[in-house]
Structure 1
């Protein structure tokens, strides 16, 4: 399938990291980005993606940030709504500081936190159907701090090292630019029509017959029966009843079970009581969100997947 009008990628870096942004874009696309006037800010560059399922020429918008907090405020303003709606990817590029307590490290954290704020508040965080990457350019060995910082904000951290470094780790997983490309290729770049932007789960709800007019018996006037056994999630009614407690338990020890798609073994906190329609709809939404996180984190190293799982479960718990 040829995607003729794909969603866009927004790639940003600090104003003094132009060389790193240039390198990353060149490594991703194969060609150097061309400056607009005397700066990369405001320019655009295409990324050619070709998989077994689609081909697309994805435009990359380039931006340089002088004040991360002001930049975040501008992108969270009503005027930026249309820009955010057409984004399918967001890439942060920064220089990995050699000292974690240096001014450079403080500035990098400020950049990540403010761009992460836009991902969380402007794009929907874990429920956003896009890809958000944080590419740290540098040769340092201990990147746990940066992995944690990014994971807390729903960003995937990828270290970009010297080109002589092998492209796979000891587990056979891709690293560096190849991992970034893998994440971008796995994304859905098809445009979402304006009418579909009101609810992340509108189509899902309509398909299952759980719209606003659903009856108390869980069946729409013309919609299908909402028997959980027919929802193709691999859960039966008892699983729905126990899912809420299982999610709470998952925050401590079962994060990976959820992301691996294993059925919950939690105990119903209201044992003996039936869930009403609203509770079932809420749990269905949470299951969709957890499944999305599971899919997007599939290529991450095990330790990073656990961190992503813990943050995803924390997000879900807030809504239950």
Structure 2
């Protein structure tokens, strides 16, 4: 028995995306690729996109939303001054309504270039902490420009998911990369600002009170909870022979889900505890798309 189709909730006033880019050119190219719509023109008086906004239309089985993107042009050399301004109490209302930070950064060369990426993100984290202080989940993505896929072993930088800006297609795990990964991560986010669903899923996957207990722990009750939306029926329907085909498809769906969770567990095993927690929270949001 197929469950009735539900209309995704329309989020009328979603939280914002804050895009930080080193130049108008990088912001324009990225926005065009991300939204498939022409980005705004620079301010004729300043010649900058700073202070401009754009819209990203998102849709998944749970919601539809037109999420505003606030654009800021920040030279990495001036990021400390920028962070000082936005971490000030007088500007607290700005980060308080930001649900995602997307930072475009040139990768640079060797360890020196990577150290520069970490330095910039550490400064921006001072502002992100205000957004996280609202007790709502915040997406943190750094898009590395001028970097080859696989150049760096780590896909995470102090809690930021690192995405290679020029990458296309899928990685060895079949996951989206590049700009498509950015859109996927933003699409999986809860823009309405309601924390209940994410907290519930974290508990079900063994992430209790923000603590990751041995990675992702799935028990029989968890499997049954996943089984219902995959099969599209309740236990009492199991005797209906017409559903045998649905059940076979559901088993395959569970197996694929478990393989993906095992891969996520392996990826997170070598991370420091703080990064592992954020990795797990991101993985929970992504897994929602498969249920």
Gap change, CA 1:234 and 1:191, over 3 Å in 2:
closer
SS in 2 for 1:100: helix
CA contact (8 A) 2:24 2:73 kept: yes
CA contact (8 A) 1:42 1:62 kept: yes
State the distance in 1 between where 2:263 and 2:126 align.
22
Map of 2:57 onto structure 1: 48
**Scaled by the length of structure 2, what TM-score is found?**
0.63
Map of 2:91 onto structure 1: 80
Map of 2:137 onto structure 1: 129
CA contact (8 A) 2:12 2:65 kept: yes
CA contact (8 A) 2:57 2:64 kept: yes
Is 1:27 the counterpart of 2:33? The answer is yes
Is 1:92 the counterpart of 2:103? The answer is yes
Q: Deviations over 1:255-284 (max 9, x none)?
A: 6x6331358xxxxxxxxxxxxxxxxxxxxx
Is 1:157 the counterpart of 2:166? The answer is no
Write the mapping of 1:232-271 to structure 2, written as runs, cut at 5 A.
Answer: 233=203, 258-262=214-218
State the distance in 2 between where 1:124 and 1:300 align.
27
**Scaled by the length of structure 1, what TM-score is found?**
0.58
Map of 1:208 onto structure 2: none
Map of 1:108 onto structure 2: 117
State the distance in 1 between where 2:73 and 2:105 align.
11
State the distance in 2 between where 1:300 and 1:87 align.
30
| 1:8 Cα deviation from its structure 2 partner | 0.6
State the distance in 1 between where 2:10 and 2:89 align.
32
Is 1:185 the counterpart of 2:196? The answer is no
State the distance in 1 between where 2:164 and 2:203 align.
35
Which consecutive residues of structure 1, in runs of 5 or more, have no partner in the other structure?
A: 193-199, 205-231, 248-254, 264-296, 316-320
SS in 2 for 1:183: helix
SS in 2 for 1:114: helix
CA contact (8 A) 2:215 2:265 kept: no
Is 1:68 the counterpart of 2:84? The answer is no
State the distance in 2 between where 1:99 and 1:160 align.
17
- RCO higher in structure (CA 8 A, sep ≥6): 2
The number of equivalent residue pairs is 220
Gap change, CA 1:309 and 1:54, over 3 Å in 2:
farther
Q: Deviations over 1:65-120 (max 9, x none)?
A: 13111111111111121111211111111122233325xx554333222112322x
State the distance in 1 between where 2:11 and 2:58 align.
10
Which consecutive residues of structure 2, in runs of 5 or more, have no partner in the other structure?
A: 1-8, 220-259, 279-291
Is 1:36 the counterpart of 2:43? The answer is yes
Gap change, CA 1:172 and 1:59, over 3 Å in 2:
same
SS in 2 for 1:63: strand
Q: Deviations over 1:47-76 (max 9, x none)?
A: 011112211111000001131111111111
SS in 2 for 1:188: coil
SS in 1 for 2:111: coil
State the distance in 2 between where 1:304 and 1:3 align.
33
CA contact (8 A) 2:216 2:265 kept: no
| 1:314 Cα deviation from its structure 2 partner | 7.9
Gap change, CA 1:62 and 1:189, over 3 Å in 2:
same
| 1:145 Cα deviation from its structure 2 partner | 6.5
